[in-house]
Amino acid sequence: MSEVVVGDGVTIHYDVFGRRDGPPVLMIQGLGTDSRGWALQRMAFGRRYRCYTLDNRGTGRSDRPPGPYSLEVMARDALAVLDAEGVERAHVVGASMGGVIAQIIGVLHPDRVRSLVLACTGPGGPDHELPPPETIELWMRAAQLPRDEAVRMSYRTAFTPGWTDDHPEEYEQWVAARLDPPTPVECWLAQMEAVDGYRDVGVAVEEIDVPALVVHGDLDRVVPVSNGRLLAARMPRAELVVLPGQGHAPMLEEPEEFATVVCAFLDRVG
């Protein structure tokens, strides 16, 4: 792992892997998830690209400053990784909250972006569809539990119904990754409040003029697929791939399918 100190003194940890001469790809994970959320993509991506994955502020090995956070600041954190590595422009891949951060980079820093891959995310705004009631109810029940139990219960909604029962050992590995090191509650809430703030206002994705791929599972219980469809429809150069039978974490549930779809796009536009 490497690190970079950003403008407000926060240290951001990141990892670099893949072909030294490959096109650069910046990979940004979602709420409370560190760079290990891309672990199952390392081999497929690393064969083709030079990849940069970071722990967002408040998560993983990065510093955990008190809130409030903003997604604009987190976008600058991600770009600081590219600056530290001397990368001017990169393909940017973002999942969930990381997908919103990628959108913000595309709007505010278009000169840094070769293309965008936006997974299990949406543009926000008044047309954003919230999670279904059963997801929200489960999260509320989990919030009453001790931290480890709360993570184990709430994280299930990232996967398709039944997947965690069919893959108990794999699921426990992903739960353990979220607990070691854990995202402190106050940092998780700061990230969540930053996401809520964007969701109300939305991102001006109509201004993004680079090739974009929107990837979304049709069984996503956290960010319903209607948000991915809306995102693709609003972006002038976007294409949409809906993954049948996939939930909010296709890069974990079906890593080969996810890598195939994304790498084919990057190869084509890169």
Query: Model confidence over 48-57: pLDDT tens digits?
Result: 999 999 999 9
Q: Is 168 helix (H, G, I), strand (E, B) or coil?
A: helix
Check whether 87 has a pLDDT greater than 80: yes
Q: Is the pLDDT of residue 1 over 80?
A: no
- Residues β-bridged to residue 213: 117, 239
Instruction: Please give the C-alpha separations between residue 133 and each of 34, 163, 170, 246, in angstroms, as whole numbers.
Output: 27, 20, 27, 19
- Candidate from 123-127, 146-150, 166-170 with smallest mean pLDDT: 146-150
The confidence score (pLDDT) of residue 107 equals 97
Q: What is the mean pLDDT of the chain?
A: 95
pLDDT at 63 over 80: yes
pLDDT value of residue 232: 98
Walk me through the domains of the chain, giving residue ranges and CATH numbers: 2-130+187-269 (3.40.50.1820)
CA distance 87 to 83: 6
Q: How confident is the model at residue 181 (pLDDT cuts 50, 70, 90)?
A: confident
Give the number of other Cβ atoms within 10 Å of residue 29's Cβ.
26
pTM of the model: 0.96
pLDDT, one tens digit per residue, over 91-142 is 999 999 999 999 999 999 999 999 999 999 999 999 999 999 999 999 999 8
Strands 2-5 and 11-18: antiparallel
Confidence of residue 162 (pLDDT cuts 50, 70, 90): very high
The answer to whether residues 67 and 189 touch, using CB atoms and an 8 Å cutoff, is yes
pLDDT of residue 71: 96
Structure-model confidence comparison of residues 3 and 188, the more confident one: 3
270 pLDDT band, cuts 50/70/90, is confident
In the prediction, which pLDDT does 200 show? 86
